Amino acid sequence: MDRNLYNAASEGKVGVLRQHFDQLEIQTTANKNTSLHVAAQFGRSQCVAAILEVCPSLLCQVNIRRETPLHMAAREGYPEIVEALIESAKKMEQELESGLGGEAKEMLRATNVDGDTALHMAVRNCHFKKEKDKYLEVVRLLTGEDPEFEHPANNAEETPLYLAAEQGVPGVDVLATILETCRSPTYSGPGGRTALHAATLHDFAGLYSGTPQKGSTKELLKWKKDLIKQADAHGWTPLHYAACNKNGKGDPMFRDMVIGGGRNIACNPRDNVAQLAQLAKCRRRVKRIAEDKKKVDAKNYREWFQTLMVVAALIATITFAAAFAIPGGYDGNRGRDQGMVVLARAKAFKAFVITNTIAMMCSVISIFLCITGLWYAYKEDDKINDRDIARYFGAVVLILVAMFAIMFAFIAATFAMLAYSIALALSTCIIACIPFIAYTSELGKFISRLFAKKMSSSY
């Protein structure tokens, strides 16, 4: 599509659009959208009226997803454009003398590649609070124009009535509008479920908020009480779904469904409603215990972070002091090397400097991880996630590396200062290696146990 034509249709520039009237039927976007699709998508009612006046044949033209301009307007929630498209289709019927059942109904019943009609799209997006009234008006226009249409399910086995019930309280008005204007709408959903199954799962916000509100469940039961007896593919009735979400004691939803359907609906060859309600109680208790455990874990992690931070700060202080208290001292004689390290050329001294620097850097990074871990632990209200655990174990690993490095630094510094006496230097280094060997042994046992536990849990 020409860029000027697209910009004119999307920005509502009717004057520029009139300059391209001779190209409206041949110009399309990469997705096969016509100028009418674009104007309907962006809510440009004046452009829509101008295009329909000149080229009404674009009314039923589809894009690459088999969507008409009506699909676009219904999805975006533009009732004035929906009404203009329907009126234009009616005008075409009168001109062709086709009477009722022509262009208008064909457009209203058209489906895209997903099997969605324009009503599917309007109902699916009606949960936006700021634009709910617009979508509700779109639903009234679409259902009121073709009340005899049953509005069958799409490729996902969802009917518009099921989609409205699935939205819970925000979809009550849409559901009531469909039931009021359509004579016999279909109510099926995926998995053999009905709109009442969906309502029992998503209707709790209105029933338990403490204020009387109209719920989808009550609307459906008033419309068709037999829905309470219909089971899904697993043999579950809507009452089973309600039992899995709330305990039936004092529950208005349970009372309405039991009175409306009778006591026999409470039994199933495999699952009993009372058992499901008890199971729901147990699940909530387990969830509460898990939340309490998370709070305890968060408190423990904060204490561990504080402990690690003290240890890391101590190591950083030792390594900082060792960097200025140089082994062997400085050269005090006058000359070029005055103030330089006496043992600067010794290999053992070079090893000391490197290992001391490693210990210093690891301890500082560990302190940083502990500070950020504490900050996130307090910020997220006693919630510990994988990110905090990764910070903790990262700080532990860095402290372990720092401790290894500081041991090597001590051994290297001792050897550098006692190089004149090999026997004394070696004996000192061997003694210093004893805690290092014990430390390595304990670390190996810990890693092997951790790996064995992980392997056993995987099986």
261: pLDDT strictly greater than 50? no
Q: For residue 32, give Cα distances in angstroms to 43, 62, 64, 65, 161.
A: 19, 7, 5, 9, 30
Q: Are residues 215 and 290 in the same domain?
A: no
Is residue 128 included in any domain, yes or no? Answer: no
What mean pLDDT is predicted for residues 300-304? 73
Is residue 414 included in any domain, yes or no? Answer: yes
User: Which domain CATH number covers 167?
Assistant: 1.25.40.20
pLDDT at residue 82, rounded to an integer? 92
Mean pLDDT over the full length of the chain:
77
Residue 101 is given by DSSP the state T
162: pLDDT strictly greater than 60? yes
Q: Which band of pLDDT confidence, cut at 50, 70 and 90, is reported for residue 69?
A: very high
State which residues form the domain around 154.
Answer: 150-267
Q: Are residues 404 and 342 in the same domain?
A: yes
Is residue 457 included in any domain, yes or no? Answer: no
Residue 248: which H helix or E strand, with range?
none
Residue 405 is given by DSSP the state H
Q: Are residues 181 and 229 in the same domain?
A: yes
**Chain position carrying tokens 């200062």:** 417
Express each pLDDT in 103-146 by its tens digit: 788 888 899 999 999 999 988 887 665 677 888 899 999 888 88
Q: Are residues 165 and 108 in the same domain?
A: no
Q: Which band of pLDDT confidence, cut at 50, 70 and 90, is reported for residue 316?
A: confident
Most trustworthy range by pLDDT among 75-79, 348-352, 376-380: 75-79
Residue 208 is given by DSSP the state S
26: pLDDT strictly greater than 50? yes
Is residue 137 included in any domain, yes or no? Answer: no
pLDDT at residue 242, rounded to an integer? 74
66: pLDDT strictly greater than 90? yes
User: Can you tell me the distance from the alpha carbon of 175 to that of 172, in angstroms, rounded to the nearest whole number?
Assistant: 5
Which of 94, 112, 130 finishes a domain? Answer: 112
User: Can you tell me the distance from the alpha carbon of 329 to that of 331, in angstroms, rounded to the nearest whole number?
Assistant: 7
Q: Are residues 201 and 324 in the same domain?
A: no
What mean pLDDT is predicted for residues 197-203? 80
What mean pLDDT is predicted for residues 272-283? 55
For the ranges 103-107, 256-260, 412-416, the lowest mean pLDDT is seen at 256-260
Closest CA to 404 of 358, 350, 348: 358
Q: Which band of pLDDT confidence, cut at 50, 70 and 90, is reported for residue 379?
A: low
Q: Are residues 245 and 314 in the same domain?
A: no
Q: How many other CB atoms sit within 10 Å of the CB of residue 58?
A: 21
Q: How many other CB atoms sit within 10 Å of the CB of residue 231?
A: 16
pTM, two decimals, is 0.55
CA 379 to chain CA mean position, Å: 21
Q: Are residues 5 and 85 in the same domain?
A: yes
Q: Are residues 259 and 361 in the same domain?
A: no
Q: Are residues 368 and 309 in the same domain?
A: yes
Q: For residue 356, give Cα distances in angstroms to 307, 343, 346, 362, 433.
A: 22, 15, 16, 10, 17
Q: Are residues 253 and 165 in the same domain?
A: yes
Q: Are residues 345 and 260 in the same domain?
A: no
Q: Which band of pLDDT confidence, cut at 50, 70 and 90, is reported for residue 208?
A: very low
For the ranges 104-108, 190-194, 213-217, 395-399, the lowest mean pLDDT is seen at 213-217
More confident residue, 157 or 433: 157
Domains in the chain, number: 3
Is residue 251 included in any domain, yes or no? Answer: yes
Identify whether the C-beta of residue 366 lies closer than 8 Å to the C-beta of residue 360: no
Q: Are residues 182 and 246 in the same domain?
A: yes
342: pLDDT strictly greater than 90? no
